[in-house]
Amino acid sequence: MADIIQLLPDHVANQIAAGEVVQRPASVVKELLENAIDAEATNIKLIIKDAGKALIQVIDNGKGMSTTDARLSFERHATSKIKKAEDLFNLHTKGFRGEALASIAAIAHVVLKTKQENQTLGTSIKIEGSTVVSQETVSTPIGTSIAVKNLFYNIPARRNFLKSNTIETRHIVNEFQRVALAHPNISFQFYHNESEIYNLNAGNLRQRIVAIFGKKTNEKLVPINESTDVVEIIGFVTKPEFAKKKRDEQFFFVNDRFIKNSYLNHAVSSAFDGLMPSGVYPTYFLYLNVPTNSIDINIHPTKTEIKFDDEKTLYAILRSTIKHSLGQYNVAPVLDFDRDASMDTPYNFKEKSAPKPTITVDRNFNPFKTEQQNSINFPYKREKTADWESLYTGIDTRDIEVESESIHSSLFTEEKQHNKTYQIHNKYIVSTIKSGIVYINQQLAHQRILYEEFLENITVKEAMSQQLLFPLELSFNKTDITSIKEIKEDLESIGFLFDKILEDSVVISGIPVTIIESQISIIIEQLLEDINNDIPDTSFSQLDIMAKSLAKSLAIKTGTKLDTKEQEDIVNKLFLCKEPSASPFGKKTFITVNIDEIDKKFNN
């Protein structure tokens, strides 16, 4: 039988490797930014166009590369970071596998310009699909500039799997934020479609967090600082009252590398036990420095997962450190044994006893004496009325009892006759129908009702808006502000009115009549999260997801007690909907049980 195993051509092997390294434009951004940091750059500029599909360019002022190194950098498994396998457990750099540039060059048009400090001229290399098109000597600044154009141009199927520009831009922003937060000592600039998104100056960690997430963040931060033989922890958590319903502002860094770790995340959450209601999550920026030989970062292609030698010890240290800081800054109640001298009793009063209060009593006062005998004289005197028993003269008390019983009985009988719905466990509404019984999920049913109302207001009717007595200012980070600008017209179509949209806040002067002021912040945050995760490109779909998000935020929740009128209102409105059987998210709103099914239960 003929041999069937064969070696893959280099360009095919590179495309397969690219599938692991380059999942979307944000993956390219991450690799190029990390290369610039490894080159010891102090200033890094990121330029993207069309959410990275047309252009991703990173310019740095780092060490640069020689002509030979520039050419070798595009070969697979070519790296300056490691020389032997043992080096994998003693890493101090970002990239080390030597696959990034080779993988990127296999699926894009790449132009690299680089120059070292001791060189007069630099090197320019153009590569298309792993093929070197040209290599020449050029005049270029010290450092490296690498431009990646037409990503996935030769893999159209992969390009078709990319999401909308809004979603892909959000992923790029997330990667940029992670790198920028890990290195506050480096200045960064970020431009998208020739608009400046971020301009971050070098500074300390607190300054970098405030620069990315807005000025209002500064007052929310609680410092974390702990040093042990196992780990050194620095960073910030936010105060419990600023907890959010989404987890997008939770950052773990180990040795200046962003990681995801659900186990350590649980340690942080448990430190906030009893300080936050359920369903909200703390924001944190935590930096762990551990010995390089105690972790393995080579277990995932994107290097966002790390294996620790002793996770249980890290968990305990992290949890207790955060608890201690929350107590130290009076965020959580603690027993503090450090005496504050300013609260001590002054020396002159230390031996003095508190004076005893004096009480004077009028021994002649008698409350049972008549008004004439009382010592207090009132200007008006109450006239003596007939005894109260005289009011009931000639009335048989048995008639009163009978009448009250009959009234009481008739009221409750009438209520039972007209009560068409019942509520079970503050979750389900039960009502009778001709064929049996219907069980309605109150939350899902209300979502369907609100969804169709909002969709009608957005697409057919002119939405009603209520003016706020005092305009409300809400703080958001720059990426959320960009998203709000994109959907501003859609928000206005459902009743929101905006006075100003600033760099890190929005001023709202009007809201839809169906919501209250205290719900605005929660609704907009939920709306932004849904938009960034779910929206396709079409405008109707954007309005649709907006109606779904508002319905999800405003619907009555499980556990809410409803009176009879509210129950009947939900039942009546639900069955007037166009699609009453399902919520906006495809879940059943009600189930029916026939009389025959009930009979079978008793006959079995």
Does the pLDDT at position 536 exceed 60? no
Say how many CA atoms lie within 13 Å of 343 toward its Cβ. Answer: 3
Please tell me which of 161-170, 231-240, 540-549 the model is most confident about, judged by mean pLDDT.
231-240
Helices (H), 423-477: 442-459
Cβ atoms of 425 and 560 within 8 Å: the answer is no
Overall fold of domain 10-200:
Heat Shock Protein 90 (3.30.565)
Q: How far apart are CA 535 and CA 527, in angstroms?
A: 11
Cβ atoms of 165 and 193 within 8 Å: the answer is no
Q: Which residues contact 126 (CB under 8 A, 6 or more apart)?
A: 109, 110, 111, 112, 132, 133, 134, 135
What are the pLDDT digits (tens) for 14-48? 666 565 668 889 999 998 998 899 888 999 999 99
Q: What number is the average pLDDT over the span 57-69?
A: 91
Q: What number is the average pLDDT over the span 140-149?
A: 94
Q: What number is the average pLDDT over the span 177-201?
A: 92
Least confident of 136-150, 162-176, 417-431: 417-431
| Model pLDDT, residue 71 | 87
According to DSSP, the β-strands at 143-149 and 55-60 are antiparallel
Overall fold of domain 209-328:
Ribosomal Protein S5; domain 2 (3.30.230)
Does the pLDDT at position 242 exceed 80? yes
Q: How far apart are CA 250 and CA 259, in angstroms?
A: 10
Would the CATH topology of 209-328 be identical to that of 431-590? no
| Model pLDDT, residue 535 | 46
Domain residue limits, the chain: 10-200, 209-328, 431-590
| Model pLDDT, residue 332 | 58
Q: Pick from 259, 198, 248, 181: which is nearest to 48 by CA?
A: 198
What phi and psi values does residue 187 have, to the nearest 5 degrees? -85, 140
* C-alpha pair distances (Å), 491 with each of 58, 547, 549: 35, 10, 12
| Model pLDDT, residue 134 | 92
* C-alpha pair distances (Å), 365 with each of 358, 362, 371, 373, 376: 19, 6, 12, 10, 10
Q: What number is the average pLDDT over the span 427-446?
A: 88
pLDDT band at 533 (very low <50, low <70, confident <90, very high): low
Q: Which residues contact 271 (CB under 8 A, 6 or more apart)?
A: 318, 319, 320, 322, 323, 326
Strand partners, 190: 46, 198
Q: Which residues contact 411 (CB under 8 A, 6 or more apart)?
A: none
CA 154 and chain centroid, separation: 36
| Model pLDDT, residue 526 | 78
Q: What number is the average pLDDT over the span 410-432?
A: 69
Does the pLDDT at position 300 exceed 80? no
Specify the CATH superfamily of domain 431-590.
MutL, C-terminal domain, regulatory subdomain (3.30.1370.100)
For residue 94, the one-letter residue type is K
Q: Which residues contact 380 (CB under 8 A, 6 or more apart)?
A: none
Cβ atoms of 468 and 508 within 8 Å: the answer is yes
pLDDT band at 501 (very low <50, low <70, confident <90, very high): confident
Least confident of 117-121, 155-159, 233-237, 577-581: 155-159
Place of tokens 């006959």: 603
Quote the tokens at residue 170: 């959000």
| Model pLDDT, residue 80 | 57
Does the pLDDT at position 538 exceed 50? no
Secondary structure string (H, E, C) spanning 104-144: HHHCCEEEEEEECCCCCCEEEEEEECCEEEEEEEECCCCEE
Does the pLDDT at position 531 exceed 60? yes
pLDDT band at 178 (very low <50, low <70, confident <90, very high): very high
Q: What number is the average pLDDT over the span 322-347?
A: 64
Does the pLDDT at position 322 exceed 80? yes
Does the pLDDT at position 136 exceed 80? yes
